[in-house]
């Protein structure tokens, strides 16, 4: 399978290039970044897009217009952007897979959080990353929050208890679908997340730590190899791994 990488000079893009070159069943046919000629990308069977939020949408639109399948690892996709990609795909044969995280551990953590959510009154998410990360909260934290919120709603749970009335400095963090999310940016970290559940007299904490970008490559290559068997827009790689409902 011929693979092209958009964002090849970025940290994640460069790691993807190395992983593709090391895989016996894949061939790296193009590695481009901002300002490069993209004509070589058209020779690919699948494109991997790892750039920045401001560039990702244009890259996806270009791939769809050229009939290319694309695996998107850039984070920062909200519902509006996802819906836009879905509209672009109408009438086209391209396939697009967008994942907020390709770490197997992180995907399992999100699914465990979904399963635990109906059983606990309180829940908060703390994500901690290196200070060069450009978006906050992380895409993984936002996805986790939405999964938790959906599971709580389906179980008939109300709002997470919180008596805070005054918070002029935003100490309680962001809220995503009613779930508090706290972002830390600290030198020496790579990618870490905790989901903290609580009931009266007990607590459950789910933790996932990624120590380098190599931890994402098995998930990325799984998506690359599987995308031809998908249709339209796919969110996440859970279904490819048999994780979740």
| Cβ–Cβ < 8 Å for 108, 244 | no
Cα distances (Å, whole numbers) of residue 91 to 65, 166, 221: 11, 50, 27
Residue of 2, 92, 130, 133 marked active site: 133
Q: Is 133 a catalytic residue?
A: yes
Residue of 129, 147, 180, 182 marked active site: 129
Supply 12's token pair: 């994640």
Q: How many CA atoms lie within 13 A of 76 on its CB side?
A: 13
| CB neighbourhood size of 173 (10 A) | 17
Transcribe 62-99 into DSSP letters.
HHHHTT-EEEE------HHHHHHHHHHHTT----EEE-
| Cβ–Cβ < 8 Å for 192, 210 | yes
Q: Report the C-alpha gap between 67 and 43 in whole angstroms.
A: 11
Residue matched to tokens 């699914």 = 111
Q: Which residues pair with 123 in a beta bridge?
A: 197
- Residues annotated as catalytic (active site), given as ranges: 129, 133
């Amino acid at each position: 399978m011929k693979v092209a990488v958009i964002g090849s000079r970025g940290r994640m893009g460069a790691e993807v290039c190395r992983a593709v070159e090391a895989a016996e069943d894949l061939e790296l046919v193009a590695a481009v970044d901002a300002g490069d000629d993209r004509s070589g990308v058209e020779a690919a069977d699948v494109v991997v897009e790892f750039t920045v939020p401001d560039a990702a949408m244009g890259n996806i639109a270009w791939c769809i217009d050229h009939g290319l399948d694309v695996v998107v690892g850039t984070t920062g996709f909200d519902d509006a952007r996802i819906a836009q990609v879905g509209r672009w795909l109408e009438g086209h044969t391209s396939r697009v897979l967008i994942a907020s995280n390709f770490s197997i551990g992180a995907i399992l953590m999100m699914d465990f959080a979904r399963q635990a959510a109906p059983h606990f009154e309180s829940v908060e998410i703390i994500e901690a990353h290196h200070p060069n990360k450009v978006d906050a909260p992380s895409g993984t934290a936002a996805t986790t929050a939405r999964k938790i919120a959906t599971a709580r709603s389906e179980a008939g749970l109300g709002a997470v208890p919180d008596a805070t009335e005054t918070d002029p400095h935003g100490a309680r963090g962001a809220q995503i679908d009613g779930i508090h999310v706290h972002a830390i940016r600290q030198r020496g970290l790579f990618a870490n997340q905790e989901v903290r559940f609580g009931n009266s007299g007990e607590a459950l904490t789910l933790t996932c730590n990624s120590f380098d970008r190599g931890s994402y490559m098995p998930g990325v290559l799984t998506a690359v190899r599987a995308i031809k068997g998908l249709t339209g827009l796919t969110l996440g790689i859970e279904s490819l791994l048999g994780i979740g409902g």
